[in-house]
Amino acid sequence: MYNSKITGLGYYVPDNVVTNEDLSKMMDTNDAWIQERTGIKERRWIQEGSEDTSAVMGAKASRIAIERAGLTPKDIDFIVFATLSPDYYFPGCGVQIQEMLEMRTVGAVDIRNQCSGFVYAMSVADQFIKTGMYKNILVIGSEFHSGGLDKTTRGRGVSVIFGDGAGAAVLSRTEDNTKGILSSHLHSEGKHAEELTVLAPSIRHWVPKILEENDENDESYFPYMNGTFVFKHAVVRFSEAIVEGLKTNNLQAADINMLIPHQANLRISQFVQKKFKLTDDQVFNNIQKYGNTTAASVIIALTEAWEKGKIKDNDLVVLAAFGSGFTWGSVIMRW
C-alpha cells in the first residue's frame, strides 16, 4: 500500500498590508479591540487593480510548491483547490490552475469547506494517492476575501478578521509507510450552516431577483457570522478533531511536535494549546500578520513554520481546522 507525503510547499500573500489602524479609518473599530479579541495586528488585502484573484494567487503559491518538490507542472496528476471565494460562481478555480500552469489535461476538483477546506483537500488527495490512482497531487487553499467584505461599521464583526492569501502543497506517493499522512478525520453539522454564511448570490437568490430588489440595505451579499456561537463550537470541535487523530494512531498530545491550527482567532489557538498542555514551540500561529485566510490559513501557516525550520524530519505534525458549515477535521502526519 502506498502512502502520501508532502514534497513541496509554497505560499503567496498580496503586498498590500492593511493594519488595524487603517481599518479604523473605514469603520468604527480600533487596534485595541481587534488585538484583544482576535490577536490580529494586520492582514493582506488585494489592492484594487491588482491582477491577483483566488486562482492567480493559488497559481503563484503552486509554482513555488512544485519547484520545491523538484517537479514541473507536467508531473502533476490531479488538482484539488479549496476556496470559498472562487473567481467564478462556476467553474471552480481548479480548472484555472490547470490552464495557468500549462498542465496536462489532468482532473481538477474544488473543495467548498471554508476554513476546513485545506484539511478536507489534503484528505481527498491522500485517498487518491493511497489507492494508487495518482502519484503527485497539487493541493491548494486560496482566498480573496477583501473583495466581498462589508467594510463599514455594519460589517466590522466580520471584516476585521479576514485576509487574502494562498498556499499550496504537493502531495506525492511514497512507499515508506512510516512517513507522510497517518490519518485524516472529517466532520460536518449542517444545521449550523447559517451561523457563518454568505446567503447570496445563490440559485435561490439569483440575478433577476437581485436586480428586482436592488436594495442597498440587503446584507445577504456580505458574510454573516454569529461570532460567539462559532467561537464556542470552534474550541470544542478543534479539540475533538485533534483527540480523534491522536487516538487513531495511539499517540498522546505530548507526542505532537507541531500543531498547525486553522488561524481563526488567536484566542481559539491559545485555548487549544492550553487544553493539550502544549508549549509555544509545539504550536504555530501567524494570524497576527495575515488575519483569517480561511482555506489558505493552514497551508500558509504550515509553509511558514517549515520555512522557519520549525518542522524537522520525523516530526509529528497535526493540522486541525473548524469553520463554516459547520465543518471540521484534522490531518496527522509524520514528516
Q: Which residues bind ligand ACO (CB under 6 A)?
A: 29, 33-34, 37-38, 114-115, 156-157, 160-161, 196, 227-228, 230-231, 234, 264-265, 268, 292, 294, 323-324
262 is a catalytic site residue: yes
Q: Is 151 exposed, middle or buried (0-12, 13-18, 19+ CB in 10 A)?
A: middle
Residue nearest to ligand ACO (CB): 323
Cell numbers 503567496 correspond to 12
- Choose, from 3, 20, 113, 115, the residue flagged as catalytic: 115
Q: Evaluate whether 263 touches 13 at the Cβ level (below 8 Å).
A: no
- Alpha carbons within 13 A on the beta-carbon side of 171: 30
Q: How far is the CB of 265 from ligand ACO (least distance, A)?
A: 4
Q: How far is the CB of 327 from ligand ACO (least distance, A)?
A: 8
- Alpha carbons within 13 A on the beta-carbon side of 202: 9
For the CA atoms of 317, 84, 267, 155, what is the dihedral angle to 10 degrees? 170
114 DSSP assignment: G
292 is a catalytic site residue: yes
Q: How far is the CB of 207 from ligand ACO (least distance, A)?
A: 24
Q: How far is the CB of 64 from ligand ACO (least distance, A)?
A: 25
- Choose, from 20, 145, 262, 286, the residue flagged as catalytic: 262
3-state helix, strand, coil in the chain (%, to 5): 40, 25, 35
6 vs 57 by CB, closer to ligand ACO: 57
Q: How far apart are alpha carbons 102 and 9 in whole angstroms?
A: 19
93 is a catalytic site residue: no
136 vs 294 by CB, closer to ligand ACO: 294
Residues facing 327 on adjacent strands = 188, 323
163 vs 180 by CB, closer to ligand ACO: 163
54 vs 294 by CB, closer to ligand ACO: 294
Q: How far is the CB of 68 from ligand ACO (least distance, A)?
A: 28
107 vs 227 by CB, closer to ligand ACO: 227
Joined together, the cell numbers standing for residue 30 give 480600533
Active site residues: 115, 262, 292
